[in-house]
């Protein structure tokens, strides 16, 4: 599928983009290349191929889910300007 200059101008008008004829020709060529690539991808035979989550099929190294710091909530809230029910109170900014 290829686009011509008039089709690119129509798309530009719908997108409210200003475009001269030289730009429209460049965009028509670039968009046509993209559409040709998509058509080539669609033509690929994929029957019987199982989808992959990642092309390298690698496993992600994860650190152990373990507590590394002690609970200091009471110490932090003791020095906070305003606390109520375990929550920090801040000034209202939106009325």
CATH number, domain containing residue 14: 1.10.20
Asked if residue 87 has pLDDT above 80, the reply is: yes
User: What is the pLDDT at residue 95?
Assistant: 79
Max intra-chain CA distance, the chain: 69
Contact, 19 vs 3, CB < 8 A? no
Q: 81 in a domain, yes or no?
A: no
Q: 21 in a domain, yes or no?
A: yes
User: What does the mean pLDDT of the chain come to?
Assistant: 90
Q: 91 in a domain, yes or no?
A: no
Asked if residue 1 has pLDDT above 80, the reply is: no
Asked if residue 34 has pLDDT above 90, the reply is: yes
| Rounded percentage of the chain residues whose pLDDT exceeds 90 | 65
Per-residue pLDDT band at 46 (split at 50, 70, 90) = confident
Residue 27 lies in domain = 5-41
Alpha-carbon distance 66 to 36, whole Å? 51
Q: Phi/psi class of residue 23: alpha, beta or left (left: φ > 0; alpha: ψ in -120 to 50)?
A: alpha
For residues 34-57, give the mean pLDDT.
86
Domain count, the chain: 1
Q: 57 in a domain, yes or no?
A: no
For the chain, helix (H) and strand (E) counts, in that order, are 3, 2
Per-residue pLDDT band at 72 (split at 50, 70, 90) = very high
């Amino acid at each position: 599928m290829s686009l011509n200059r008039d089709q690119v101008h129509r798309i530009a008008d719908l997108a409210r983009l200003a475009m001269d004829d030289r730009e429209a020709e460049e965009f028509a060529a670039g968009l046509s290349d993209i559409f040709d690539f998509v058509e080539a991808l669609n033509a690929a035979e994929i029957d019987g191929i199982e989808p992959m989550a990642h092309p390298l099929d690698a496993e992600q190294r994860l650190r152990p889910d373990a507590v590394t710091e002690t609970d200091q909530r009471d110490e932090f809230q003791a020095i906070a300007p305003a606390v109520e029910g375990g929550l920090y109170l801040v000034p209202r900014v939106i009325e």
